[in-house]
């Protein structure tokens, strides 16, 4: 797991959040869940893991985990009835 500093901005003010993530794109997803209304991501920067990292939120969910409740996948779906 890598760590990222994400700068959130709104009306000229900024704040930083730190999130664990595998990629910078996923770090943006993790930071989005911490953003306040109106805030936008201004920058994402990887930070060195010194073993003492403190994070502000959990790592992002995978796309499969996010969609599991609404799209169980072909393996879990019942087979369509045969039509002839």
Q: What is the pLDDT of residues 12-46, one digit of tens each?
A: 999 999 999 999 999 999 999 999 999 999 999 99
Higher confidence at residue 60 or residue 24?
24
- Per-residue confidence band for 59, with pLDDT thresholds at 50, 70 and 90: confident
pTM here is 0.72
Specify the pLDDT at position 83.
Answer: 67
Specify the pLDDT at position 49.
Answer: 87
Q: What kind and span of H or E run contains 8?
A: strand 2-10
Return the residue matching tokens 């930070």: 47
CB 56 within 8 A of CB 5: no
């Amino acid at each position: 797991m890598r760590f990222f500093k994400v700068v959130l901005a709104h009306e000229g003010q900024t704040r930083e959040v730190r999130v664990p993530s595998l990629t910078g794109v996923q770090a943006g997803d993790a930071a989005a869940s911490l953003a306040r209304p109106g805030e936008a991501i201004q920058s994402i920067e990887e930070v060195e893991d010194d073993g003492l990292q403190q994070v502000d939120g959990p790592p992002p969910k995978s796309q499969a985990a996010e969609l599991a409740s609404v799209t169980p996948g072909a393996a879990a779906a019942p087979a369509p009835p045969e039509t002839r």
